[in-house]
Amino acid sequence: MILTVVLIIPLIAAVVCLAPRFRSGAGARWTALAGMTAGLVITVVLFAGYQADHYALKPQRWLLETQAPWFPQLGISFHLAADGMSLLFVMLAALLGSMAVIASWTEIKESVGFFHFNLLLTLVGVIGVFLAIDLFLFYFFWELMLVPMFFLILSWGHENRIYAAVKFFIFTQAGGLFMLVSILGLAFTHQHATGVLSFDYPELIGTYMNGTTATLLLFGFLAAFLVKLPAVPFHTWLPEAHTHAPTGGSVILAGLLLKTGAYGLIRFAFPIFPDAASRLAPYGMILAVAGILYGAVMSFAQTDLKRLIAYTSVSHMGFVLLGISACNTIALHGVIIQIICHGIGTGALFMLAGTLQERIHTRELSRMGGLWAELPRMGGLWLFFALAALGLPGLGNFLGEFLVLLGSFAVSIAAAAIAATGFIFATVYALWMLWQVSFGPRRTTGDIADLSVREMLPLVVAVGLLIWIGLFPQSVIRTARQGLETLKATIEWHTPTRRSIGAPDKGMVDLKTQTAPKGLSGGYDGKP
């Protein structure tokens, strides 16, 4: 029930934002903020309960689960479930949703109620993606993210917003349609093997299929997930969308929508198609390394501040793809930390970029500079989040990328070594961005107000979280560990000879209970 509540609260807030009494600026803003804050409180309480009860030390099951018939004749159910990994992602969604609302507080002046309706509806889709384990329901929420984000960019974006919105729509919709075909193909393959039509993830996880069928179906999922991640060369929609989206939209895009692609790879692609995914994993590492280097080099070449930050996301998400492709315990823990810290850090950078654009009415780096002395609060936060982006030791971003490289080294020394050069490139573009914004000669005229308390509050929270995760990552690792180990064990044990439905062996993982066989996780236990 609690999972349904987490979904319904932002949905109710979205609908309320359209009511005549609340569609005014103040009413819509406070309604949206209240809805996301309520969701954040609930997820934080769940996280605290997880830590206090030491669930991570017990045999893994879904921490929370709710299921109800939807279209039973078609094998479709309203099936939501959360393990430690998805709990972390839902908490991230609630946090960044609140940040997006605050970032839009003074920027959005027209159709305020409709703006927050679309923003909250996008967040409902994101949260649904992290919780849905019926594949039809998952696709429903996947598509639910698309339309409201399209309107956010189209209606409240900047100069070339029409081009950016259409490009975003075409890329993500095309990938989603390929995934839909694969979902239907998987369900029909399962029906052919068992006589039962089902879209339920625990039922589909062990479906027998030959190598060719598995590879073809996997490509459909990859088309959606790699576009959304995004992986090079499927990334071209991202710089345009980020550059021309409103600040709140950029926070959601960078912090959450990209993460749905990574989540889909971890939750669905690798466990359902373990053999096909293993065969394609080396190519995934190649794409990852290409993305790390390409995104970093392109970041340094940008003259638009938001476009620069967008390309840093391409580089950082390359580390995520690298860790997923390596698919060992250390790398996957690094992936989770990187997803969370990149979401927080890049969301904060886009908030800063948006507040700066509001004040000086430009995103061009050549028209900035010399703001450190006049804007000490903003300058200090620019410094912190630039250092986070370059991977300063002691912050969560460094820990995530370090664990990814450490885990990847065991799979491919060459890929890990080349990817490690991304730290060098990150240092260059991060310091370049910091110098252009805060130091050098002053290129703007007139007085510029420093950050207000409202603008400071979410950024200070982000600072605290990145420091906390960097110094004390145990709580995050412990929360994600059991879910990741279960998924990893599923990949290892669902070989072609062990994938026949109805004939599980002693080593098989029971995804209905999420109980992993003992001793499958290797020597690393997630403890730093």
pLDDT in tens, 181-240: 999 999 999 999 889 999 999 889 878 888 899 999 999 999 999 999 999 999 999 999
Looking at the predicted structure, is the pLDDT value of residue 118 above 90? yes
The 3-state DSSP class for residue 305 equals: helix
Give the domain ranges of the chain. 2-498
426: which 2 tokens?
């990150």
20 pLDDT band, cuts 50/70/90, is confident
Looking at the predicted structure, is the pLDDT value of residue 499 above 50? no
**Buried b or exposed e, range 58-96, using 16+ CB within 10 angstroms:** eebbbbbbbeeebeeeebbbbbbbbbbbbbbbbbbbbbb
Looking at the predicted structure, is the pLDDT value of residue 525 above 50? no
Helix or strand run (H / E) with residue 80: strand 76-82
Q: What is the mean pLDDT of the chain?
A: 87
Q: Is 460 exposed, middle or buried (0-12, 13-18, 19+ CB in 10 A)?
A: middle
pLDDT value for 25 = 80
pLDDT tens figures, 335-392: 999 999 999 999 999 999 999 998 888 888 888 887 887 888 998 999 999 999 999 9
Nearest of 276, 238, 274, 277 to residue 258 by alpha carbon: 238
Least confident of 72-86, 121-135, 412-426, 493-507: 493-507
| Segment 465-481 mean pLDDT | 91
Q: What is the pTM of this model?
A: 0.90
125 pLDDT band, cuts 50/70/90, is very high
pLDDT tens figures, 261-274: 999 999 999 989 98
Helix ranges, 232-390 (H): 237-244, 247-252, 258-264, 270-272, 274-300, 305-326, 329-360, 376-389
Backbone angles phi, psi at 503, to 5 degrees: -130, 55
Looking at the predicted structure, is the pLDDT value of residue 55 above 80? no
